[in-house]
Amino acid sequence: MPRPTAFPPELAAALSARIAGDVRFDDMSRGLYSTDASIYQITPIGVVLPHSRDDVLAAIEIAARFEVPILPRGGGTSLSGQTVAAALVIDFTRYMNRVLEIDLERKLVRVEPGVVLDQLNAVLKPHGLQFGPDVATSSRASLGGMIGNNSAGSRSIRQGKVIDHVRELEVTLADGTRLRCGPTTADAVSALASSPGPVGEIHREFPRIVAENRREILAKYPRILRRVSGYNLDAFVPELYNQMPLAPVPRELDRQWPDRSEFNLARIFVGAEGTLGTVTEALLHAVPLPRHRGVILLEFRTIDAALEATPTIIECEPSAVELLDRNIIELSRQNLKYRKSLDFVSGTPEALLIVEFSADSQVAIQDGLQLLEQKMKGRPGLDRFLPAATPQQCEQIWNCRKASAPLLLSIPGARKPIAFVEDTAVEPARLAAFTRRFRGILSKHRITGAYYGHASVGCLHIRPMIDTKSAADLAILRAVSDEVAQLVQEYGGAMTGEHGDGLARSYHNLKLFG
């Protein structure tokens, strides 16, 4: 049972007096907000559903007066516990969920944080546009939450992460200061630094802190496409930022928008999981929606064979390479909703790779598929190529991929594939070796795991099978977490490539980042 969280009795009344939106302190609401998609459960102090940025400001000011922490929240689909706390939760999805403006000429879209990704993409699609990062939870993940976690998705090898697509943010800080941040020239940063109050202090102190810790940042930040652990300090050290691999779509945005190389404070709020400020509005880049997609499934005899093949597949410039293990294949076959998704997979492969090509012409898709077949022919451990014949089949495959985590949770028994080291990322060329070592850690503790995720960018969702009601298994959980963190460090990788640190992983950051 979650322990009840105490709160000052006058807090609810003070909030209700100033807030036009909803203020909920009843047990039912607090119970509803005590969980997210993680293994944690913590009852919040209360919940505010703001109507406007003024409501947000009022909630933050009142919380500060009562010395109560605040926790911004979107869809609550986070996997590492960053949306549960003994705090005042501010849920943006109920009312602050409007797409405010679309600038088609500049391909920019202004949103409130509670807009859900599918909702945004439905508005952009008629204009041939989309938001780049494509989380599997697109039907419920909000833009505020995606910004908070610096989310990515299956197509990040092409589209990048949220940080690559945020242009400006409006943020309210814990002391009620409202900041608008976006690309800022060096002269403008100097001018801001000499302004009074918190804005001046931030523009003086933040560049100083980055400069003082430059050497440490250069030494500790991994040079991989997928790192969301820690804060985005690397985005403020230009020589490091230039060493980072960049996906083609953000690279094109950089070409079109030279001011993206300027100082942009918005980037420190991306991926900060709400710990530095609360986003009340965002100006985002929208990117072209490819006209055609083609999907092929590759059946492998082992996970290792699939991961060893991945670097060669990447040479064909696919828009996604996703791994599904045998667990997911079998569970989808037993599931009423998904059993048709993979019905053309006839054998019993240990691993499937879903490879997708995206382009504006069908010819380019066929070229990609042909090149892939050529390069993969005779590959050890590869049994079959299974091209999806119709757009419906492509959609079914993607639906099944998106359902991987829920399918896995239907595994019977006390031990479940749970999320706590489920988002490690390494350079794709090292993924096979890294995964073998990861499996070795699980074997040492006599447990198994479920494997799926974004092979294209070295970010696998490996979920160890743990019984969270067993003290012995909880000791294993802690040991596995520490050993995986050490392994990640050895491989120059990240503990999280998209899901965020939350409660599950932030304690490793001191070791990883200094």
Ligand X SMILES: Cc1cc2nc3c(=O)[nH]c(=O)nc-3n(C[C@H](O)[C@H](O)[C@H](O)COP(=O)(O)OP(=O)(O)OC[C@H]3O[C@@H](n4cnc5c(N)ncnc54)[C@H](O)[C@@H]3O)c2cc1C
Which stretches of the chain bind ligand X, using CB under 6 A?
36-37, 71-79, 82-83, 92, 113, 135-137, 141-142, 144-146, 148-149, 151-153, 273-274, 278-279, 405, 498-499
CB of 475 to ligand X, least distance (A): 26
CB of 274 to ligand X, least distance (A): 3
CB of 135 to ligand X, least distance (A): 4
CB 420 within 8 A of CB 442: no
CB of 172 to ligand X, least distance (A): 9
* Dihedral angle computed from the Cα positions of residues 151, 153, 157 and 163, in that order, rounded to the nearest 10 degrees: -20
Q: How far is CA 216 from CA 207, 456, 488, in A?
A: 15, 29, 18
CB of 276 to ligand X, least distance (A): 8
**How many helices and strands in the chain, by DSSP H and E?**
21, 20
For ligand X, the closer of residues 79 and 376 by Cβ is 79
For ligand X, the closer of residues 173 and 193 by Cβ is 173
For ligand X, the closer of residues 144 and 311 by Cβ is 144
For ligand X, the closer of residues 162 and 382 by Cβ is 162
The pair of structure tokens assigned to 303 is 């996970």
Amino acid at 452: Y
Question: Is residue 469 helix, strand or coil?
Answer: coil
CB of 205 to ligand X, least distance (A): 21
CB of 318 to ligand X, least distance (A): 17
Give which of 59, 156, 121 is closest to 454, Cα–Cα.
156
CA–CA separation, 416 vs 449, rounded Å?
9
CB of 509 to ligand X, least distance (A): 14
CB of 378 to ligand X, least distance (A): 32
For ligand X, the closer of residues 141 and 329 by Cβ is 141
CB 152 within 8 A of CB 161: yes
For ligand X, the closer of residues 79 and 313 by Cβ is 79
245 HSE (CA, 13 A, CB side): 17
Kind and range of the H or E run holding 356: strand 351-359
State how beta strands 166-172 and 278-285 pair: antiparallel
CA–CA separation, 430 vs 442, rounded Å?
19
Main-chain dihedrals φ then ψ at residue 209, nearest 5 degrees: -60, -45
For ligand X, the closer of residues 146 and 237 by Cβ is 146
Main-chain dihedrals φ then ψ at residue 460, nearest 5 degrees: -105, 145
CA–CA separation, 342 vs 354, rounded Å?
11
For ligand X, the closer of residues 87 and 369 by Cβ is 87
Residue with tokens 């399918």: 407
CA–CA separation, 459 vs 156, rounded Å?
10
- If one counts every other C-beta atom within 10 angstroms of the C-beta of residue 264, the result is 21
CB 163 within 8 A of CB 235: yes
CB of 113 to ligand X, least distance (A): 4
* Alpha helices (H) along 278-412: 303-314, 326-333, 362-376, 391-402, 404-408
For ligand X, the closer of residues 341 and 376 by Cβ is 341
CB of 218 to ligand X, least distance (A): 26
Residue with tokens 């293994």: 39
For ligand X, the closer of residues 141 and 309 by Cβ is 141
CB of 91 to ligand X, least distance (A): 8
State how beta strands 278-285 and 382-387 pair: unpaired
For ligand X, the closer of residues 107 and 499 by Cβ is 499
CA–CA separation, 148 vs 140, rounded Å?
15
Residue with tokens 């490793």: 508
For ligand X, the closer of residues 77 and 232 by Cβ is 77
CB of 415 to ligand X, least distance (A): 19
For ligand X, the closer of residues 299 and 501 by Cβ is 501
Main-chain dihedrals φ then ψ at residue 492, nearest 5 degrees: 60, 35
The pair of structure tokens assigned to 416 is 């479940």
CB 120 within 8 A of CB 102: no
